[in-house]
A and B are shown apart, each in its own frame.
Chain A
Amino acid sequence: MNFDLTKEQALFQQMIREFSEKEVKPLAAEIDEEERFPLETVQKMAKIGLMGIPVPVEYGGAGGDNIMYSIAVEELSKFCATTGVALSAHTSLCIAPLLENGTEEQKQKYVPKLASGEWLGAFGLTEPNAGTDAALQQTMAVEDGDNYILNGTKIFITNAGYASVYIIFAMTDKAQGNRGITAFIVEKDMPGFSIGKKEKKMGIRGSATCELIFENCIVPKENLLGKINKGFKIAMKTLDGGRIGIASQALGIAQGAMDETVKYTKERKQFGRSIAKFQNTQFQLADLETKIQASRLLVRLAAFKKDQKAPFSSEAAMCKLFAAETAMEMTTKAVQFHGGYGYTREYPVERMMRDAKITEIYEGTSEVQRMVIAASLLK
């Protein structure tokens, strides 16, 4: 059993580390302060092929694997969780379901431009009344000749407004409950589709999180993704992959907070020595380092299984659950170790703490992850 990265993965890690340090880190505070979407960074990422890492070459991607993709989200999130989630939602929640469920025509039409970064992708499942109970969809899709007409709203949609392609879930057969949901590929210019209000959030403030409004939105029949009424399964499978992305984001946040804390505790002197010399500091950081390393191994395991095309649902839930809770704990402690300074925006740790919280909530709350793991364990 080889725990080392392959030569390609190691070379990739070297590249993305340099990219994050030089391109992402300098903008992170500003992105958060101004609640600004990191558009220029995404354009730079597109240029070197980061927007299509695990996409096969025949669809315009880089032909990389999910381990590389997870490393990318981790390294970006170390400095800026906003940038990390932009990549994660785009890759795992938009490109992946297209590759896994699309017809050849759909794949050829949408994937190359998404993989090249010319288009950004998004995913719309959550509604005002359908969060954890995702099956309670109220957005309706009614057949009308060659089209479907969509009516309803989605909320908390990442990349909204900047994305050109949205994977949208709507009810085609209300009587069937979660077996009556269908997935659609919606383009931003389709008539009847508009972006609603932008959320003011606690963290990942640069991420564009908006409402999507469908008012008699006309979606051509050829944009039905997968099979009719089979949308819920697509959503669940897509979220499994998305969990690897979010877990990687959480892992990156935790690692970033740890790096900052190690630096600060070595520099800060009180009572005649650096606070890193106190056993209280050492023991707590030791525990946190162990959890971060454990998170990493769980993330890599889930990514590895996905690459092997083996079932990975439970592993994805575990890595997301554990990495998110570790990120929350690490960032909270990071602020504590920084003392008063950690509470100010002069240091990045308060932002990391605000950013970490969402990882315990979106793409399946920690409660949902526990449901998934238990279901797999006790079946």
Chain B
Amino acid sequence: MKIVVCIKQVPNTTEIKINPETGTLIRDGVESIMNPDDKGGLEEALLLKDKYGAEITVISMGLPQADDILREALAMGADKAILLTDRKLGGADTLATSSALAAAIKQLDFDLVITGRQAIDGDTAQVGPQIAEHLDLPQVTYAENIEFDGKNTFKVKKATEEGYQLLKVVAPLVVTVLATANKPRYMSVKGIVEVYHKEVEIWGFDKLHISEDKIGKKGSPTTVFKSFSRGAKSPGEMFEVGPEEAVGIIVSKLKEKYII
């Protein structure tokens, strides 16, 4: 079995704090990590490898330092790693990103493509299904578990709001995985000791056989008009009131925060 796993290097957004005076993001000292949903996807691939034997290729589109997460993936047990990096690919929205990744994946041999459901910086959950569309493959999103029948059919457990569904698909297909699907293994010590002796293939735009107007800024139908932080955390307000008034204040706050 051959599996391609897409992984993304993201800032650890749970550690990002807001400067209380200016209200801007403090990105300094926030470490870069492998996106959690992607790690869950990689672990699903490794579990399939444990059970059925498989060759796992991890691919990441990003800056040169995405090498870090590719090494992490190799030390966890992936077999091959590809870093897709090129200035021309920068400034891409999800459509352009997925086009570039699909163009790369098209050149590989695979039965299954795995991506994470969404990245914790963009939070769009769009790239996985878009890759599936570009590759003209069936997709299953929100996967909590992937099983294989040993021949050519996959059974995927898909999380829904009410519970879950079991879906059956014949390879090849694309699956997007949740971080909660499994508990990803740690890198093995041996894996770490060997990992910098392995090669991470570096692919640029020229390797992709795709026109320049499909990638980067040119290939992005959406643009960011403006971005802003939510504002400095205002000092707490206090109200000494009766129960009715209290409820009124709380309800309007809950609405303001989109809780209700």
Contact = CB atoms under 8 A, between A and B. Distances in A.
A62 B186 contact: no
Contacts of B196: 7-8
Contacts of A18: 186
Contacts of A12: 189, 192
A8 B71 CA distance: 10
B189 A53 contact: yes
Given A11-B71, A11-B72, A11-B75, A49 B195 contact: no
A64 B186 CA distance: 16
Contacts of B167: none
A19 B195 CA distance: 19
A47 to B, nearest CB: 8
A11 B187 contact: yes
Interface string B170-211: 000000000000000111111011111000000000000000
Q: Size class of A's contact patch?
A: 10 to 19
Most chain A Cβ neighbours within 10 Å, of B71, B187, B193, B196: B193
A208 interface: no
A50 interface: yes
Interface in B191-238: 192-196
Interface string A26-50: 0000000000000000000000111
Interface in B107-124: none
B186 A48 contact: yes
Interface string A46-78: 001110110001000011100010000000000
B198 to A, nearest CB: 12
A15 interface: yes
B191 to A, nearest CB: 8
A376 to B, nearest CB: 32
A88 to B, nearest CB: 16
Contact of A64 (B71, B75, B185, B189): B189
A315 B188 CA distance: 30
Given A11-B71, A11-B72, A11-B75, A62 B193 contact: yes
A57 B190 contact: yes
A52 to B, nearest CB: 8
Contacts of B71: 7, 11
A68 B190 CA distance: 12
A11 B75 CA distance: 9
A62 B189 contact: yes
Interface in B130-153: none
A48 B187 CA distance: 7
B39 to A, nearest CB: 11
Nearest to A9: B192
B190 A15 contact: no
Interface centre among A18, A49, A52 (most CB of B within 10 A): A49
A66 to B, nearest CB: 13
B186 A15 contact: yes
Contacts of B75: 11, 15
Given A11-B71, A11-B72, A11-B75, A64 B193 contact: yes
B32 to A, nearest CB: 11
Interface centre among B75, B189, B192 (most CB of A within 10 A): B189
B195 A11 contact: yes
B187 A62 contact: no
Contacts of A50: 189
Nearest to B197: A8
A332 B113 CA distance: 54
B72 A49 contact: no
Contacts of B194: 63
A7 B72 CA distance: 11
A30 to B, nearest CB: 20
Contacts of B72: 11, 14
Contacts of B187: 11, 15, 48
Task: Pick from B190, B195, B196 the residue with the most CB of A within 10 Å.
Answer: B190
B24 to A, nearest CB: 22
Interface string A221-236: 0000000000000000
A343 B189 CA distance: 38
B109 to A, nearest CB: 29
A18 to B, nearest CB: 7
Instruction: Among A11, A14, A63, A64, find the residue whose CB has the most chain B CB atoms closer than 10 A.
Output: A11
A96 B72 CA distance: 29
B126 to A, nearest CB: 29
Contacts of A52: 189
B87 to A, nearest CB: 25
Given A7-B196, A11-B71, A11-B195, A19 B186 contact: yes
B153 to A, nearest CB: 31
Nearest to A65: B193
10 contacts: A11-B75, A14-B72, A15-B75, A15-B186, A15-B192, A18-B186, A19-B186, A48-B187, A62-B190, A63-B194
Interface of B: 71-72, 75, 185-190, 192-196
Given A48-B186, A63-B193, 13 more contacts: A7-B71, A8-B196, A11-B187, A14-B72, A18-B186, A48-B188, A48-B189, A50-B189, A52-B189, A62-B188, A62-B190, A62-B192, A62-B193
